[in-house]
Structure 1
C-alpha cells in the first residue's frame, strides 16, 4: 500500500488539535501527537517544520471551521449567538484552542481583523445598529456564547444539582443567550 502523505498530514492536524486543546502550546508533546496520529514523529517536522507552526496550522483549521460553520450574520445577531453557542458546546476544542492562543501565542493563527472590521461596518449601517457601538456589541455577544462553557461547573449545578450539559438545560440556556442578544441589539428606549 502506498504512503498517503495527505492522509498523514490530516491525521497529524487532528491529533494536534486534540493535544493543543487539552494541554496548550507549552504542555503539548510532539511525541503524543505523532503517536495519536499513528505517524512518525519526523513527519511532523517534514509537514509543519516545528511545534509553533503546527500550533498555527491547528488554530487556522479550528478557526476556519468555526467561521465556516457559524458565519457572523450582522443582520441576525441573536440567531448568530444561538448558533455559536451550539457550535461551542458541540466542539469544545474550538473554544479551548482559542483560549490557549490568547494565553500563550496571541500572535498566531489567522488574522481576522479585516473580517471583523467589515462585519462591524455593516452592523453599524444595518438592522443590528442599536444603541451600543458595534465592537462592544460583538464582544458582549461573543461573551454570551462562551459563558456556559467558561462558567465554573459548581455555578452551573448550583440551582438544581443536575448535569448542566443535558440537552434540556443546554436548550434553556441557549434560549436565554438568544434573548439576551436580542435585547442587546434592540434600539435604546
Structure 2
C-alpha cells in the first residue's frame, strides 16, 4: 500500500473509533489525526471537513451494518440471535449507526445506499410468508424492522441494559433463548388452537392480554 493510501486508511480507522465514541459533534479532528499518526492538513486534504469524514466512514461501514448477519427468513429466531452476537462482536457499528440517527438522519431510512441488499431481505421474508414460515398478515418491511429492533434490545443502543462480552455467558445464553422465543411467538403463524409453529415445531400458546 502506498504511503498516501496507508495514511488515508489510518485516518478512516481512527475516525471510525472516534465517531463511535463521541459522535459527530464530540469528535475532534486533532485526536483523529494524532491516532492516525497524520496531521490535520492531510485529513482536510483527503476528506474536506469533519462532517464529510463522518459520511465517508459511515458509508464505508454501511455494508457491515446491513450485512452483519446473513438473512435466514425461514429461521427468524436464528437471524435475531445472530444480530445479538454481532452486536457483541462489533459494538462500534451500533454506536456509529446511533450517532448517524441522532445527528444525520432523524427520520426515514437510516441507510439509503443499500437498497438492493434490503430488497433481497424483504423478498426472502415474503417468500417465507408464502411458504408458511412467517405470518403472512405482516408486511415484510415491518417484520424486518421489528425483528431487528428486538435483536438490538441489549445492544449499545439499548435504553435498558447494554450487554458486553464481559457479561457471564449464562446471561448471554438466557438472552439468546428469550430473544429466539419471542421472535418465534411474534412472527410465526399460529394454528387454530393458538400454537405458533416453525418448521414443524411448536411453541406454547400465545398469552391472551386482557
Query: What's the TM-score bracket when you normalise by the shorter of the two chains?
Result: 0.7 to 0.9
Aligned to 2:154: 148
Question: As a proportion of its length, which structure holds more helix?
Answer: 1
Distance across 2 between alignment mates of 1:136 and 1:182: 15
- Please state how far the C-alpha of 1:113 moved relative to its aligned partner: 3.4
Q: Equivalent of 1:171, from 173, 178, 193?
A: 173
- TM-fit CA distance, 1:147: 0.5
* Higher CA-based Rg: 2
Report the counterpart of residue 88 of structure 2 in structure 1.
Answer: 89
Shift in Å, 1:167:
2.3
Q: 1:122-161 residue pairs with structure 2 within 5 A? A: 122-126=124-128, 127=131, 128-130=133-135, 131-149=137-155, 150-153=158-161
Structure 1 residue 66 displacement after superposition: 3.3
Give, in angstroms, the shift of residue 22 of structure 1.
1.1
Cα deviation code 1:126-153 (max 9, x no counterpart): 2443142212211111111110120434
Question: Number of aligned pairs?
Answer: 181
TM-score of the two chains, using structure 1 as the length reference: 0.83
Provide the secondary structure at the position in 1 that maps to 2:152: helix
How much is the aligned-residue C-alpha RMSD, in angstroms? Answer: 2.6
Could you state the TM-score of these two structures normalised by the residue count of structure 2? 0.75
Q: For each residue in 1:141-177, what CA deviation from the matched residue of structure 2 results, as whole angstroms up to 9, or x when unmatched? A: 1111110120434xx89xxxxx982222112211211
In the superposition, relative to structure 1, how do residues 15 and 109 fare at CA in structure 2: closer, same or farther (>3 Å)?
farther
Answer whether contact 1:120 1:134 (CA < 8 A) is retained.
yes
Contact 1:12/1:37, CA 8 A, preserved across alignment: yes
Q: Which residue of 1 aligns with 2:24?
A: 25
Structure 1 portions without partners, runs of 5+:
158-162
Report if the CA contact (8 A) 1:25-1:100 is conserved.
yes
Contact kept, 8 Å, 1:164 with 1:170, in 2: the verdict is: no
Measured after TM superposition, the shift of residue 182 of structure 1 is: 2.1
2:50 maps to 51
